[in-house]
Amino acid sequence: MKKLLILGAGTGGTIMANKMRKVLERDEWDITIVDQFKTHYYQPGFLFIPFGMYKKNDVIKPKSDFFPVGLNVIYSKIDKIEPENNRVLLEEGVVLNYDYLIIATGTRTAPEETPGLKGDLWYKDIFDFYTIEGALALADYFKTWKGGKLVVNIAELPYKCPVAPLEFVFFADAFFTERGLRDKVEITYVTPLPGAFTKPRATKMLGELLKDKNIHIIPDFNIAEVDNVNKKIIDYAGVEVPFDCLVSVPTNMGDPMIERSGMGDELNFVPTDKYTLQSQKAENIFVIGDAANVPTSKAGSVVHFEADILQENLMCAIEGRPFTAKFDGHANCYIETGYGKGTLIDFNYDTEPLAGSFPFPGIGPFGLLKVSRMNHYGKLIFRWIYWHILLKGKEMPIDSEMQMAGKKL
């Protein structure tokens, strides 16, 4: 029997398990997936929790609900990969050999990377919403918060779902307005980027939205430390921003297992060919999702588009053919802007987010770089699609490759 091993049963690992089980013969191929947790978290839902829009139960399901028949599942912590021996060691000393390996271990938040962030005020006046624990703690805090300086800070690039902290401040604006507290809450968005986003047109559009909603932005801010005593964040240039409540997107890093395996860059992301998704370390190792260092957004939509490419290229490798699929960096993100509305961006390695309609040119129903009620429904529907279609690796009416039709230059 030949062996395909998948590390991580989050978005990418689960999709690949479903796709590969369909195309690899059961009597020739063993497929095994390993994850440390039995619960699958719908991470995009974390954003809604602090504002009481989702509860814990809305974002969790057993991972086993999404696995295909004929998949070996192991719940264990992965200790390390030994690429030269084609094997993986698990924590309890279990050894798994493989012919092909897919790394899908994602990214995690590393608040310990910023001095003072995980200090005395952690989960008292300082929170994150990228973990279920942080999102729930913040929901409790907001229930009784009387207002003050709300500072949202991104520690470092890259971080997953680059629009999530923007959505957070848009939601906060609406949430405190609805509670009649908005005049007591000063919202400041503090980012290492030179503006609201990276690319010119999206930055302009989102920057104007911030302004309309009276949310201050402090760009080019690289956080050096958090002063817990005087309640302020300080950057390397000495700029200080005081807060009453700090919501942080801590440094995002790949799992320490990647570092132990000697397979990561300075943030433990795995050097990966951005077109083929093959690891740069070994020909029989492929990488999908947030774990890879490819220069596009770390987002569920990207994972979904990558999965089509990875399936094709993995079959090429297995059958000894040259790679035929090429990933273009396609990302597609719904952005909540508050008050039941949203916007949408669609882009890839070479094309910045442009205005237009999606997915059907001229028809939509979604509007690119426009604020509309429909785009908000798109985001809500995404949760249903995620659980019922995406994780199971089923077909969606959206091309993996970004389309120019429907976009305005």
Ligand X SMILES: Cc1cc2nc3c(=O)[nH]c(=O)nc-3n(C[C@H](O)[C@H](O)[C@H](O)COP(=O)(O)OP(=O)(O)OC[C@H]3O[C@@H](n4cnc5c(N)ncnc54)[C@H](O)[C@@H]3O)c2cc1C
> Looking at the DSSP assignment, which residues form a beta bridge with residue 333?
345
Distance CA 367, CA 388 (A): 24
106 interface partner picked from ligand X, other proteins, none, CB below 5 to 8 A per type: ligand X
Site string for ligand X, 67-96 (x = CB under 6 A): ----------xx------------------
Distance CA 58, CA 42 (A): 8
Of the residues 132, 181, 193, 374, which one makes contact with other proteins according to CB under 8 A? 193
Peptide bond into 44 cis (omega under 30): no
Distance CA 370, CA 355 (A): 7
236 interface partner picked from other proteins, ligand X, none, CB below 5 to 8 A per type: other proteins
Q: Which residues contact 407 (CB under 8 A, 6 or more apart)?
A: 346, 351, 354, 355, 356, 368
Owner of token pair 């994780």: 391
Tell me if 218 contacts other proteins by CB under 8 A: no
Q: Which residues of 183-206 are buried (b: 16+ CB within 10 A; e: fewer)?
A: eebbbbbbbbeebbbeeebbbebb
Tell me if 105 contacts ligand X by CB under 6 A: yes
Q: Shortest CA distance to 43 belongs to which of 12, 86, 19?
A: 12
Task: Choose the stretch contacting ligand X; rule: CB under 6 A; options: 35-43, 180-188, 363-371, 391-399.
Answer: 35-43
Q: Are the C-beta atoms of 249 and 154 separated by less than 8 Å?
A: yes
CA 165 to chain centre: 12
Compute the least distance from the CB of residue 38 to ligand X, in Å: 10
> Which CB, 234 or 344, lies closer to ligand X?
344
Of the residues 112, 140, 183, 220, which one makes contact with other proteins according to CB under 8 A? 220
77 interface partner picked from other proteins, ligand X, none, CB below 5 to 8 A per type: ligand X
Please give the single-letter amino acid code of residue 322.
P
> Which CB, 34 or 209, lies closer to ligand X?
34
Q: Shortest CA distance to 45 belongs to which of 37, 34, 53, 36?
A: 53
Tell me if 106 contacts ligand X by CB under 6 A: yes
Of the residues 156, 186, 227, 273, which one makes contact with other proteins according to CB under 8 A? 156
Specify the pairing of strand 107-109 against strand 252-254. antiparallel
Element (H, E) at 230: none
Task: Choose the stretch contacting ligand X; rule: CB under 6 A; options: 41-49, 92-100, 192-200, 268-276.
Answer: 41-49
Q: Which residues contact 117 (CB under 8 A, 6 or more apart)?
A: 111, 126, 155, 226, 248, 250
Tell me if 327 contacts ligand X by CB under 6 A: no
Residues 158-177 that bind other proteins (CB under 8 A): 158-159, 162
282 interface partner picked from ligand X, other proteins, none, CB below 5 to 8 A per type: none
Q: Which residues contact 408 (CB under 8 A, 6 or more apart)?
A: 354, 355, 356
Of the residues 20, 89, 152, 161, which one makes contact with ligand X according to CB under 6 A? 161
> Which CB, 9 or 206, lies closer to other proteins?
206
159 interface partner picked from other proteins, ligand X, none, CB below 5 to 8 A per type: other proteins
Of the residues 173, 235, 255, 346, which one makes contact with ligand X according to CB under 6 A? 255
Tell me if 297 contacts other proteins by CB under 8 A: yes
Tell me if 132 contacts other proteins by CB under 8 A: no
Compute the least distance from the CB of residue 130 to ligand X, in Å: 4
Tokens of 336: 């909540």
Residues that bind other proteins (CB under 8 A): 156-159, 162, 192-193, 197-198, 220, 222, 224, 236-237, 266-267, 295-298
